Each structure stands twice: as C-alpha cells, then as structure tokens.
Amino acid sequence: MDETTTLLGQPVTVGPYEVRPWTLKRFALVYPAVQAMIRKLVAAGLTFENLEEFISGSLLEVLPELLPEIPALLAATLEIPLDEAEGLDWTLATALTLAIFVQNLEPLKNFSSLIRAAAAGIRQETPSA
C-alpha cells in the first residue's frame, strides 16, 4: 500500500470496496470491535515498538481470537450490512482488514502517544498524598 495515499487520507480500493480513513463518527461505530481486537493483541504481547515483528511472527497465533471482531469492523468501516461482511471471501476480508488498519494505524498511534503524554503531565502536576 502506498504510504503517500495513507498519509494523505485518500481512499484505497480493495476489490470492489473503498477503504477510507475513519472519521470521528465512523470511529465511534468501529470502536467496540477495535477495542476488543486491541485488547487481545496487547494481551498477546503487541506493542507499538514491536508492531512489525509481531505481525510477521505472532499475528497468526492470535488470529483465531480476532476472528469474531473482523466482520463488525468491516461492516462499520465499509458501511455494509453485517451479513455481507460475514459472507466475504477470506482473502478479500483479510486484505480489507489489513487496509483498514494501515489506513488508521498512525492516528491510533498518535492518539495513544498523546494520552500517555497527558497522563504523565497530570501525574507530575498532582501532589502526592
């Protein structure tokens, strides 16, 4: 996937579907699936620092745990009915899921960094009891 396309937030076509970066409204719809997936990935050892290594090594081991969330993620992101997402060919569903995460990974990483920085600032300013 072209990094420039991702950075500029342009849609990416995968099969007959167009994957767009999440809007705030769309993120609210996909959040339950994303949250469940991230919890499972973090529990399996994923961090932002080991992302590439994890994907190339451990992702397949965790995949069975992620499967229940994939249709909801696809349906909410692509604005398609859940039964259509559930009926997608495995190869297409996998490609779409990867495209969705590539399109939205940087904003998720940036948001996570901002939260950690804000929490650290609050801790520094809060007097100990």
Cα angle vertex 1, ends 27, 30, to 5°?
Answer: 15
Query: Is residue 12 assigned to a domain?
Result: no
Report the pLDDT averaged over residues 6-15: 76
Q: Where are the alpha helices (DSSP H) in 17-89?
A: 24-43, 51-57, 59-66, 70-78, 82-86
What is the distance in angstroms between the CA of the first residue and the CA of the last residue of the chain?
Answer: 51
Query: Is residue 5 assigned to a domain?
Result: no
pLDDT of residue 5: 43
Query: Is residue 11 assigned to a domain?
Result: no
Query: Is residue 4 assigned to a domain?
Result: no
User: Do 15 and 95 contact (CB within 8 A), yes or no?
Assistant: yes
Q: What is the pTM of this model?
A: 0.72
Please provide the average confidence, as pLDDT, over all residues in the chain.
Answer: 81
Element (H, E) at 1: none
Range of the domain at 40: 21-125
Say which residue, 51 or 108, is predicted with more confidence.
51
Tell me how many domains the chain contains. Answer: 1
pLDDT of residue 114: 52
| Residue 101 in tokens | 């995460």
In the predicted structure, residue 127 carries a pLDDT above the cut 70: no
Report the pLDDT averaged over residues 3-30: 81
User: Do 32 and 72 contact (CB within 8 A), yes or no?
Assistant: yes
Q: Which pLDDT tens digit goes with each residue over 66-124?
A: 999 999 999 999 999 999 999 999 999 999 998 998 888 776 655 555 555 555 666 66
